[in-house]
Amino acid sequence: MRDILIRDISVVLWPAFLVGGIAEGLFFTVINPQELYLFGHPVTYSPLATYSIGFFAFWALCAASSWLTSYLLRSAEDVNRKPSVGDDETKAK
């Protein structure tokens, strides 16, 4: 399991970082952070804070998508190895 965890962290977070950065650039090129509304109220954070929070939001979203991809890509072996039904049989081998 540890391997999968490390793989997930590196192949999920890193591409998400790159794509999140591009998304951030595109988004804030066309949208002025000072013109944003949060739950109906104008955003009052400093621009730098808005940019930063925006970046992390994009990063998180991209990471979610990457993680889902990597989750669905898991091989039958990885899925079967999960201790669940038939676990004892595996051990009885």
Partner 1 sequence: MSDTAAPRRVIPIVEVVEDSLYEVRRKVYPRAVTGTFANWRWALVWFTQILYYGLCWMPWNGRQAVLFHLVERKFYIFGLVLWPQDVFFLAVLLIISAFSLFLFTAVAGRLWCGYACPQTVYTEIFLWVEKFFQGDRAQRMRRDTARWTAENATRRFAKYFTWAAISLWTGFTFVGYFSPMSELVDSVLTWHVGPWELFWILFYGGSTYMGAGVMREQVCKYMCPYARFQSVMFDADTLVITYDTERGEARGGRKKGLVTRDIAHATGMGDCVDCSICVQVCPTGIDIRNGLQYECIGCGACIDACDQVMEKMEYPKGLIRYSTQNALAKHWQLNDIVKHVIRPRILIYSALLVSVSLAFIWGLASKPELRVDVSRDRASLAREVEGGLVENVYRLHVMNVSETTRRYAISVSGLAGIDLLGERIIEVPATSAQSTTLRVRAPVDGKHGAQVIYFDVKSLAEERIKVHEKASFIQP
The Cα-based distances of 61 to 25, 64, 75, 80 in angstroms read 15, 5, 24, 28
Interaction between residue 60 and partner 1 (CB under 8 A): no
54 Cβ neighbours under 8 A, 6+ residues apart: 24, 27, 28, 33
Q: Least distance from C-beta 46 to partner 1, angstroms?
A: 7
* 22: contact with partner 1 by CB under 8 A: no
Question: Would you count residue 10 as binding partner 1 (CB under 8 A)?
Answer: yes
CA nearest neighbour of 63 among 23, 30, 3: 23
**Minimum CB distance to partner 1, residue 86 (Å):** 8
Judged by the rule CB under 8 A, the positions of this chain that interact with partner 1 are 3, 7, 10, 14, 18, 29-30, 32, 46-49, 51-52, 77, 81, 89-90, 93
